[in-house]
A and B are shown apart, each in its own frame.
Chain A
Amino acid sequence: MAAAVTPKDETSDLAAVEAMLRAARGDDRTGSVRAITLNLIVHAPDPELVEGAIDALEHVGPSHPLRAIVATPIDAELRATVASSCWVGASDRQVCSERVLVQAGPKALPSAVTSLLVPDLPVFLWWQGPFDRSDRLAAELAGLASRVIVDSGVCSLEGVAAARLLAPSVADLAWAGLLPWRDAVAGLFDGPAEVKALDGIRAVDVRGPENEARLMAGWLRAALGADIELRREGRSHHVERVTMTAGGKQFLVERTGRGRLGSASVPGLLDYPVVLAPPNRPSLLADELSRLSGDRLFERALEAA
């Protein structure tokens, strides 16, 4: 899949942005229908986060042609930079995304972002950094969005809970990254014999970061309707092992080596491989942009975490 990025162009007049984007598309001379499926506001308070966001957008663009408005609060006059990226796939199919980097004072930024939204399309806010409900910028940008995406590994579960008070729907990239683990843990009990063992689960041992361990325990509590004790086995950047015991028998999922594979262990059966893809932020972001509605399972897990 080849990508072509148009040269960046800068302006301090937001009214000129649409014309600049049209020029970036070649003034639509090809007569093709422009297809944009959503608006994505990205909160990027420092240059490193701006660069990270641009990398992620390059990954997300082929599956979600979108207008990204990367918003950076600064103590200076407003300025905007536009760019358009196109990807050519099989049969010369092409999709394009638009990117506007906006820098403005925190008070001016929400109105600047509002003026740049493509009408009538869903609005997502990807909030990078800690989330503080009393932060006026966070509140105003969240108020524009139908779905807010945060990372509890950065903003903590309390930050996620705060975001939930401001937006109709909230997604947590850390929770999304736990999906292969939750699938593998659920798989331990897919057999008719093992499903009965779930009644005996009283504790879960997790080797991994605090927020993810708490979410794992919260999910089990919510799903099983039981008081499950969380025992941390140690710290690591990502989840490495989840263990549960029922009736003196141990059920285990653990990462083996550095690849995508792990191993699952069920009493009485041969150990079997499971796919435990390490979290990849751009992929997780793309997945979260695929849904508009809230994730009831996540909300219940968060409440029980």
Chain B
Amino acid sequence: MATTAKRPAPNPLRAGLRVGGASEPTVFVIYGASGDLAQRKLLPAIYNLAVRGLLPNRFAVIGYARSEMDNDTFREYARTAVEKFSRTPVDDHLWRAFAESLHYQSGNFDEEGFKVLGDRLEAIDAAHGTGANRVYYLSTPASFFPVIVQAMGATKLNKPGGFARVVIEKPFGHDLGSARELADVVHRPFSESQIYRIDHYLGKETVQNIFAFRFANAIFEPVWNNTHVDHVQITVGESIGVEHRAAFYEETGVVRDIVQNHLLQVFALVAMEPPASFNADPIRDEKAKLLRATRPMTLENSVRGQYGDGYVAGEQAVAYLDEPNVPPDSNTPTYIAAKLEVDNWRWAGTPFYIRAGKRLAKRVTEVAVQFKRPPHLPFPVDAVEQLESNALVLRIQPDEGISLRFGAKAPTPTLALRTVNMDFLYGSSFLAEVPEAYETLILDAIRGDGTLFTRQDGVERSWELVDPLLERWRKGSPQVYGSGSWGPDLSDELLARDGRRWRRP
């Protein structure tokens, strides 16, 4: 296992400087720089960090890919990408300065190519004072990860003299075994603290706000447990279908695409114990503890579905099996509903119901905490027949905010209680531009802050939770549900047998 380089003496002029960005000189290496992710996300995010003045003063990007390009061509390519996909328009003046930091090196993902890359990096260090600090971003298909990290180790790119960090995109394997194999390969040249596993969901401001909501407010945490909470519903609904990603989706399905990573991360944030501090290891420790206390998913406590045809928001939608490049006999699930049970002091007996799917009635991600009913209602039965139990809903997207459902007296001559909703829209307090998740995560990787990245033990445990179900789902077929619905009928039965029902988001 690799060791990290000795840190140089800190710059005393940096102490207390309220910049909020990164300061250590850095070269950001993008493997697969000519690919889709670099074009759509990485280059625009890096440009926006430059616009916001958050990059180190001495900073360079070096794109690496097999395509032949020189620096000027790469700069043109980057400009086109930023013009097309950046959330802010290109400022000509700033672009000229930014473009000077962009470099390109073509080559294969092998030792020969990486030796040339190493020489190029040293030349950039000498000219720009980037201090032999590196962030390597693997923006390639996952199948290249082992080849790239092995060649990096063989050519000592993992030991540049300064710090070396490697950023890996999901999927981190396709099951527990392959996740461990990948980790073994990556851990040969890099230690765990040098590895930044990106789940872009965690970079969303709205997801991070769950931390703030839970741990910055004393009024919610005392009731955040099985004494007061009846159950929790987590919904990740998409209104779109597989679009042009059928080949990818056939390999993954809803569990690998959404549940094993995004949804379990949101679940962990909602259910974890308070961390000792808002730092990487205390947070990742608590998330790992929560996942370890969660029972693996079972066939009996889950429902799978596949969308049929129908209408979504008034638009006609075709069935999954009629999508381009989907085999006519595909049994790939596009929907899951499941019950998660947590065996710990806080949550024992309080289930978490999760559901995720494509072509649902609308695009929504939310967490609904359903509280228990009062032990006694001192009102006539007909006065409370329309009264529902309290619910606290954290809406992550769209229209991020918080909604609290409670009972109030209706202004009627006879006593009648009604359920009312109090809505708080996050956007009604702050109208500031929200950075893209990739901006947040790239900046954190440059700063060396791993708080929003997943750790290997968390990755492995999440596979342990879903693998048994995936194994059982090899056989049989998903239940077809209509596009534009909230999933198959069986998902309603999953809750109905516990005397509960899904909330309509």
Asked whether any CB of chain A lies closer than 8 Å to the CB of B432, the reply is yes
Within 8 A of A (CB), among B38-96: 50, 53, 56-58, 93-94
- Let me know if A297 and B429 touch, CB within 8 A: no
Secondary structure at the B interface, as helix, strand, loop or mixed, is loop
Asked whether any CB of chain A lies closer than 8 Å to the CB of B411, the reply is no
Asked whether any CB of chain A lies closer than 8 Å to the CB of B8, the reply is yes
State which of A33, A179, A261 has its C-beta within 8 Å of the C-beta of B424.
A33
Asked whether any CB of chain B lies closer than 8 Å to the CB of A1, the reply is yes
Within 8 A of A (CB), among B401-444: 422-425, 427-432
B13: A residues at CB distance < 8 A: 182, 185-186, 189, 198, 220, 223-224
A179-B18, A184-B57, A273-B97 as given contacts; A190 in contact with B423, CB under 8 Å: no
- Let me know if A195 and B11 touch, CB within 8 A: yes
- Let me know if A63 and B16 touch, CB within 8 A: no
Contact with B along A270-304 (1 / 0, CB 8 A): 10111101000000000000000001110000000
State which of B9, B15, B58, B425 has its C-beta within 8 Å of the C-beta of A272.
B58
State which of B12, B14, B429 has its C-beta within 8 Å of the C-beta of A35.
B429
Q: Which of A191, A194, A270 has the most CB of B within 10 A?
A: A191
Query: What CA separation (Å) do A275 and B10 show in the bound complex?
Result: 22
Least Cβ–Cβ distance between A31 and chain B, in angstroms = 8
Least Cβ–Cβ distance between A65 and chain B, in angstroms = 6
A190-B56, A191-B129, A264-B57 as given contacts; A198 in contact with B12, CB under 8 Å: yes
A261-B93, A270-B127, A273-B100 as given contacts; A186 in contact with B23, CB under 8 Å: yes
- Let me know if A269 and B129 touch, CB within 8 A: yes
Query: What CA separation (Å) do A183 and B15 show in the bound complex?
Result: 11
Query: What CA separation (Å) do A261 and B12 show in the bound complex?
Result: 25
- Let me know if A295 and B18 touch, CB within 8 A: yes
A65-B429, A93-B427, A273-B97 as given contacts; A183 in contact with B57, CB under 8 Å: yes
State which of A179, A180, A260, A297 has its C-beta within 8 Å of the C-beta of B93.
A260
- Let me know if B129 and A94 touch, CB within 8 A: no
A245: B residues at CB distance < 8 A: none
A269: B residues at CB distance < 8 A: 58, 127-129
- Let me know if B428 and A297 touch, CB within 8 A: no
- Let me know if A223 and B12 touch, CB within 8 A: yes
- Give the B interface residue count (CB, 8 A): 40
Asked whether any CB of chain B lies closer than 8 Å to the CB of A62, the reply is yes
B430: A residues at CB distance < 8 A: 63, 95
B11: A residues at CB distance < 8 A: 186, 189-190, 195, 198
A223-B15, A270-B127 as given contacts; A94 in contact with B428, CB under 8 Å: yes
Asked whether any CB of chain B lies closer than 8 Å to the CB of A187, the reply is yes
B432: A residues at CB distance < 8 A: 62-63
- Let me know if A33 and B422 touch, CB within 8 A: yes
State which of A63, A190, A196 has its C-beta within 8 Å of the C-beta of B431.
A63
Query: What CA separation (Å) do A185 and B16 show in the bound complex?
Result: 14
B10: A residues at CB distance < 8 A: 195
A187-B23, A192-B8, A272-B128 as given contacts; A93 in contact with B15, CB under 8 Å: no
B50: A residues at CB distance < 8 A: 275
Asked whether any CB of chain B lies closer than 8 Å to the CB of A91, the reply is yes
A194: B residues at CB distance < 8 A: 129
Least Cβ–Cβ distance between A239 and chain B, in angstroms = 16
Query: What CA separation (Å) do A194 and B25 show in the bound complex?
Result: 12
Asked whether any CB of chain A lies closer than 8 Å to the CB of B24, the reply is yes
Asked whether any CB of chain B lies closer than 8 Å to the CB of A124, the reply is no
- Give A191's nearest chain B residue, CB to CB: B129
B429: A residues at CB distance < 8 A: 35, 37, 65, 95
State which of A190, A277, A297 has its C-beta within 8 Å of the C-beta of B23.
A190
A185: B residues at CB distance < 8 A: 13
Least Cβ–Cβ distance between A195 and chain B, in angstroms = 5
- Let me know if A87 and B15 touch, CB within 8 A: no
A63-B431, A269-B127 as given contacts; A180 in contact with B53, CB under 8 Å: yes
- Let me know if A187 and B128 touch, CB within 8 A: no
Asked whether any CB of chain B lies closer than 8 Å to the CB of A266, the reply is yes
Asked whether any CB of chain B lies closer than 8 Å to the CB of A234, the reply is no
Query: What CA separation (Å) do A291 and B278 show in the bound complex?
Result: 19
State which of A89, A193, A296 has its C-beta within 8 Å of the C-beta of B427.
A89
Least Cβ–Cβ distance between B403 and chain A, in angstroms = 10
Query: What CA separation (Å) do A95 and B431 show in the bound complex?
Result: 7
Asked whether any CB of chain B lies closer than 8 Å to the CB of A248, the reply is no
Query: What CA separation (Å) do A152 and B19 show in the bound complex?
Result: 21
- Let me know if B17 and A186 touch, CB within 8 A: yes
- Let me know if B129 and A35 touch, CB within 8 A: no
User: Can you give 9 A-B contacts (C-beta < 8 A)?
Assistant: A93-B428, A183-B17, A183-B19, A192-B8, A198-B11, A198-B12, A220-B13, A275-B97, A297-B18
Residues of A whose CB lies within 8 Å of any CB of B are 1, 32-33, 35, 37, 62-63, 65, 87, 89-91, 93-95, 179-180, 182-187, 189-196, 198, 220, 223-224, 259-261, 264, 266, 268-270, 272-275, 277, 295-297
Given contacts A37-B429, A89-B427, 10 further A-B contacts (CB under 8 A): A63-B431, A65-B431, A93-B399, A93-B425, A95-B429, A198-B13, A266-B129, A268-B129, A273-B97, A295-B16
Residues of B whose CB lies within 8 Å of any CB of A are 8-19, 23-25, 50, 53, 56-58, 93-94, 97, 100, 127-129, 131, 398-399, 422-425, 427-432
